Amino acid sequence: MTMAKRDTYTPDSLLAVAVEVFNERGYDGTSMEHLSQAAGISKSSIYHHVRGKEELLERAVGRALEGLFAILDEPGAVRGRAIERLEFVTRRTTQVLMAELPYVTLLLRVRGNTRTERLALARRREFDQRMAGLLTAAVAEGDLRADMDVKLATRLLFGMINSLVEWYRPGAGARADEEVAAAVVRLAFDGLRT
Amino acid sequence: MTMAKRDTYTPDSLLAVAVEVFNERGYDGTSMEHLSQAAGISKSSIYHHVRGKEELLERAVGRALEGLFAILDEPGAVRGRAIERLEFVTRRTTQVLMAELPYVTLLLRVRGNTRTERLALARRREFDQRMAGLLTAAVAEGDLRADMDVKLATRLLFGMINSLVEWYRPGAGARADEEVAAAVVRLAFDGLRT
């Protein structure tokens, strides 16, 4: 039995704790009891903030998805040649992943067992399709190699970006983060070869 | 209570069942009871084959690691310029991942809670370092861009290759598999841009 502390949580700070537990134990493996223990407040205090763990999941993946979809409305994503927009979205997606690491990590681990998870998967697919659309447009404009299946290229591009959740650790500073984003763009568009 | 079937397992066929269960439930979340249920034979029948679940894990990740390390001894990995060897290892690693999908998937999910897992992680790091060594050599020979940190490039390259465990599904045929391996090599070395 842990000593319950006074509930001074804001929606955001409680969410941060919940996301940490979800990423550690898996969403399915997390109970309200686990959340209560991690937050150091009673279950009824948590219920004061949210209806249950699915609402926490919804907010967490919502935060990740909002961050990602907002990229698509930025000027760099809507103006110019498709290849420039694609590069922009690739760089920004990498940056949002680093800035919102626990939330995007959770989003990428969603399985589809609940309605919230299925909605999140559908939104992820929508984002992938927007990216695939940019690739198709860039091929049509002659800026992207035509000898690669667009669906396959999209998967490999996201595979590279999303791998960051496995090895990226924040705290190395803005310059180091910029180097990571630049490396993703360089590798994806120009390759390793000189 | 499931009806126990006659134990006609070979070491390989029992391993295949175990790996499927490990990948589904996670190694930590798998008990001998789960394995017994999935295999349809009693726990004592399983103990006739192996000392316990850690031996099954050891064999499974051993199979993945053998497949991967064998690449480094193939002629294409030991002869020629570093860039050619690097391309060869990239293509072959992708092919081995597809051919040994459940075993490599398990290897990539190993956490390090047991001695077997820690040994597997150490061997993975060794493989990554061999790859990083090839990248360093290719930069020195002037064939690989020098404006990217080698450790970062290695991570992104493996990030792209290893992402296959998330989306690749076998059975599309040898030509489709060849297209995947070729796409990985093309994207990694020449990039998406024309």
pLDDT in tens, A72-112: 999 999 999 999 999 999 999 999 999 999 999 999 999 88
Q: What is the pLDDT of residue B4?
A: 61
CA of A136: which chain B residue's CA is closest?
B192
| Cβ B21 vs Cβ B38: under 8 Å | yes
Q: What is the pLDDT of residue A3?
A: 58
| Cβ A53 vs Cβ A112: under 8 Å | no
Examine the pLDDT at A4 and tell me if it is beyond 90.
no
Instruction: List, as ranges, residues 160-179 from A with C-beta within 8 Å of B.
Output: 160-164, 166-167, 179
Q: What is the pLDDT of residue A182?
A: 96
- Whether residues A153 and B180 touch (CB distance < 8 A) is answered with no
Question: In Å, how far is A74's CA from the nearest CA of chain B?
Answer: 23
Picking from A144, A160, A193, the nearest residue to B159 by CB comes out as A160
Question: B159 at the A interface (CB within 8 A)?
Answer: yes
Give pLDDT tens digits for B44-80: 999 999 999 999 999 999 999 999 999 999 999 999 9
Arithmetic mean of pLDDT, B102-115: 94
Phi, psi of A40 (to 5 degrees): 75, 20
More confident residue, B2 or A93: A93
Every domain of chain B with CATH number 1.10.10.60 lies at: 11-54
Q: Determine the residue among A167, A192, A193, A194 to mutate to test chain B binding: the one whose Cβ has the most chain B Cβ atoms within 10 Å.
A: A192
Residue A148: C-alpha distances to residues A145, B176, B182 (Å): 7, 12, 9
- Whether residues B83 and A193 touch (CB distance < 8 A) is answered with yes
CATH class label, B11-54: mainly alpha
Give pLDDT tens digits for B113-141: 899 999 999 999 999 999 999 999 999 99
Q: How confident is the model at residue B112 (pLDDT cuts 50, 70, 90)?
A: confident
B72: amino acid identity, one letter? L
Neighbour-count burial for A37-47, b at 16+ CB within 10 Å, e otherwise: ebbebeeebbe
Every domain of chain A with CATH number 1.10.357.10 lies at: 61-190
Query: From CA B88, how far away is CA B91, in angstroms rounded?
Result: 5
Examine the pLDDT at B3 and tell me if it is beyond 80.
no
- Whether residues B159 and A180 touch (CB distance < 8 A) is answered with no
Arithmetic mean of pLDDT, A2-19: 85
Q: Return the half-sphere exposure (C-beta side, CA atoms, 13 A cut-off) of residue B148.
A: 30
Q: Per the structure block, which two tokens stand in for B132?
A: 């990083």
Token pair 């060594």 is found at B133
Examine the pLDDT at A1 and tell me if it is beyond 60.
no
Examine the pLDDT at B43 and tell me if it is beyond 70.
yes
- Whether residues A193 and B189 touch (CB distance < 8 A) is answered with yes
Query: From CA B69, how far away is CA B61, in angstroms rounded?
Result: 12
Pick the closest to residue B144 from A183, A146, A164 (CA basis). A183
| Cβ A11 vs Cβ A18: under 8 Å | no
CATH class label, A61-190: mainly alpha
* Average pLDDT over all residues of chain B: 94
**CATH superfamily, domain at A11-50:** Homeodomain-like (1.10.10.60)
Q: What is the pLDDT of residue A150?
A: 94
Residues of chain A with pLDDT > 70, as a percent, come to: 98
CA of B148: which chain A residue's CA is closest?
A183
Q: What is the pLDDT of residue A7?
A: 83
In chain A, residues with a C-beta closer than 8 Å to the C-beta of B162 are 159, 163
In chain B, residues with a C-beta closer than 8 Å to the C-beta of A142 are 194
Arithmetic mean of pLDDT, B76-92: 97
Arithmetic mean of pLDDT, B132-156: 94
Question: In Å, how far is B69's CA from the nearest CA of chain A?
Answer: 22
Residues of chain B with pLDDT > 70, as a percent, come to: 98
Pick the closest to residue A192 from B173, B168, B82, B121 (CA basis). B82
In chain B, residues with a C-beta closer than 8 Å to the C-beta of A191 are 186-191
Residues with Cβ < 8 Å from B173, sequence gap 6 or more? Answer: none
Give pLDDT tens digits for A126-174: 999 999 999 999 999 999 998 889 999 999 999 999 999 999 999 989 9
Q: How confident is the model at residue A31 (pLDDT cuts 50, 70, 90)?
A: very high
Q: What is the pLDDT of residue B81?
A: 96
- Whether residues B148 and A184 touch (CB distance < 8 A) is answered with no
- Whether residues A194 and B156 touch (CB distance < 8 A) is answered with no
More confident residue, B9 or B2: B9
Query: From CA A186, how far away is CA B191, in angstroms rounded?
Result: 8
Picking from B143, B156, B193, the nearest residue to A194 by CB comes out as B143
Examine the pLDDT at B82 and tell me if it is beyond 80.
yes
Picking from A142, A157, A163, the nearest residue to B194 by CB comes out as A142
Q: What is the pLDDT of residue B103?
A: 98
